[in-house]
Structures are given as C-alpha cells and as structure tokens.
C-alpha cells in the first residue's frame, strides 16, 4: 500500500504572514495555519466522495471512512491503497472486493463533503439514518476515568495546539489513558482516521476495551460511525443531539457529552439495568 511516486502530499500545517492588530505589542508577523485540501475517495477507479480534510494519515482515513460508512464490512475487503497528490487535491485510490463495489454502485451516492458536513450530496432521506447493528455491551467508563482522559486530550492534539483549527479523536484504554489519537480539520474525518488506525494496528480487538473521546459535539453521524465499527462507548467534549442520543440507545452504546474538567453528562447507557435514571 505505497504512496504514488512523484508529487508529495502537502504538510498538515503551513505558515501564513499576518498583520496583528491590538493585543501584545510586537506580536509575530506570521502564524501557523491548518491545511485543508480536497481528498477524493476513489473505489476501483470510480470517485465516490470528496471530503475536505487535513492531508495526513490518509490511509487511516481511507480505511476508517470505508468501514464507518458501510462500504466495507471488514478491513480485509480493502486490497490496496494508493495516495496520489495532484495540483487540485489528493486522490486516495482503493481496490476493494467486488461484492463491496457492487453494493456501492447500487447505493448511487455521490457525496461532496465539506468540513463539518457529513450529508452533502446524500441522494435520499433513506440514506441518512441507517439501521445500526447492536454493539457489544460495554461497561460505562467511570467518572475518574473519563476525567483522566479529558485532562490529557490536549497533549495528543499537536495540530490543534499549533493552529487552533483541528478536531481530535482519541482511543482511551479502560483506565482512561490515551493510547492513540488522530486529528483533522473535520470532526468526522478525525474519527474516521482513528477508526482506521486502530483497525490497521489491532484488527478485531481494536475496540474490545476502552472508549473513544472526541473534541467535538456528538452528532448522530459520530454515533453511527462509532456503532458501525463496534465502538461501545463514545465521550464528547460538547453536546450530543437528540437524534444522536436516540441512535446510541438503539445501538446499545454508552454516550457521554459535555465532558469538561470536573463534570460530564451521561446521555445513554448500553446496559439495560442502567436505563433507570439516577437522581
């Protein structure tokens, strides 16, 4: 799964000259900004989706997107990946199993993704909220464990620290230690990159223990992507939507939102005994 020779992908961070007005006297005349490029997901020679994304960890992105969107059911259905940068953007060319490609063609979906947009170009309402499989019941992360992960999230977001423009998605072990993280200008992309990275490194055991922590709100797409790959617990720094909560309840996921220092809110619990509201 080698990158294409010749032109290389742009860096994830660039330098921009700026004119600072007010604030600290003698402020620097340049700033670090996050790159954002069109990334085309190409399956067996046919472009399916174009997402605006950070040009890093694209192989993780390709695998995670393919699985979280239901294009693939298993990682081994992706036979090869080739990254092909050009003047217009980056093509991620994938060779996938024939039955997966046949299903993809039948869907007749041609998304044109933007940062923070997961539905642009979806062809019909039936394609929006997909039926989710039940995820394996996982224990709700303890309060101290959630706070431990939250405390260390920024340490695993170097692009955010440099630019202030990216989202992060992290995998935390059962003790709240962050063991893997990915970043992107788009929150959906960051989660897809994390999903792909975990599966490439750990296979079927990628999500057997621990939970995902995201630096964004918990939209229903984030819940769907998580449930599609078997993530049993999702913790978000910001709010969930009502649809996200309903989808988490239907799939049996644990969903925690508004994870802030010293406080977080449990919106859905996967274990049936925990459905009773705690006062």
Active site residues: 117
DSSP bridge partners of 167: 184
| Residue carrying the six token digits 């994870």 | 259
Contacts of 204 (CB under 8 A, 6+ apart): none
Q: Residue 230 is encoded by which pair of tokens?
A: 């078997």
Torsion of CA 10, 178, 262, 237, to 10 degrees: 40
CA 239/CA 265 separation, integer angstroms: 9
Q: CA nearest 137: which of 276, 279, 275, 278?
A: 275
Following DSSP, what letter does each residue of 48-68 receive, concatenated? EEEEEE-SSSHHHHHHHHHHH
Q: Could you give the C-alpha distances from 24 to 19, 21, 35, 45, in angstroms and in order?
A: 12, 9, 26, 52
Residues in CB range of 278: below 8 A, 6 or more apart: none
Token digits of residue 190: 């960051």
Contacts of 86 (CB under 8 A, 6+ apart): 7
């Amino acid at each position: 799964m080698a990158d294409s020779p010749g032109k290389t992908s742009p860096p994830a961070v660039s330098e921009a000259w700026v004119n600072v007005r007010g604030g600290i006297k003698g402020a620097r005349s340049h700033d670090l900004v996050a790159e954002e490029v069109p990334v085309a997901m190409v399956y067996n020679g046919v472009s399916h989706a174009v997402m605006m994304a950070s040009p890093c960890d694209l192989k993780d992105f390709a695998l995670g997107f393919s699985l979280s969107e239901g294009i693939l059911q298993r990682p081994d259905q992706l036979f090869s990946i080739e990254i092909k940068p050009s003047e217009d953007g980056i093509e991620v060319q994938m060779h996938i199993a024939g039955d997966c490609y046949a299903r993809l063609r039948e869907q007749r979906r041609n998304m044109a993704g933007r940062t923070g947009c997961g539905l642009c170009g979806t062809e019909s309402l039936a394609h929006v909220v997909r039926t989710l499989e039940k995820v394996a019941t996982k224990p709700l992360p303890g309060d101290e464990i959630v706070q431990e992960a939250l405390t260390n999230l920024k340490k695993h977001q170097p692009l955010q620290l440099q630019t202030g423009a990216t989202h992060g998605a992290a995998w935390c072990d059962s003790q709240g230690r962050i063991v893997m993280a990915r970043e992107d200008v788009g929150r959906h992309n960051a989660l897809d990159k994390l999903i792909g990275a975990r599966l490439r490194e750990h296979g079927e055991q990628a999500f057997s223990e621990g939970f995902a922590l995201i630096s964004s709100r918990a939209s229903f797409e984030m819940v769907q992507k998580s449930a599609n790959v078997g993530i049993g617990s999702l913790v978000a720094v910001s709010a969930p939507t009502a649809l996200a909560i309903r989808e988490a309840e239907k799939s049996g996921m644990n969903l925690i939102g508004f994870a802030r220092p010293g406080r977080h809110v449990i919106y859905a619990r996967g274990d049936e005994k925990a459905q009773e509201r705690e006062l």
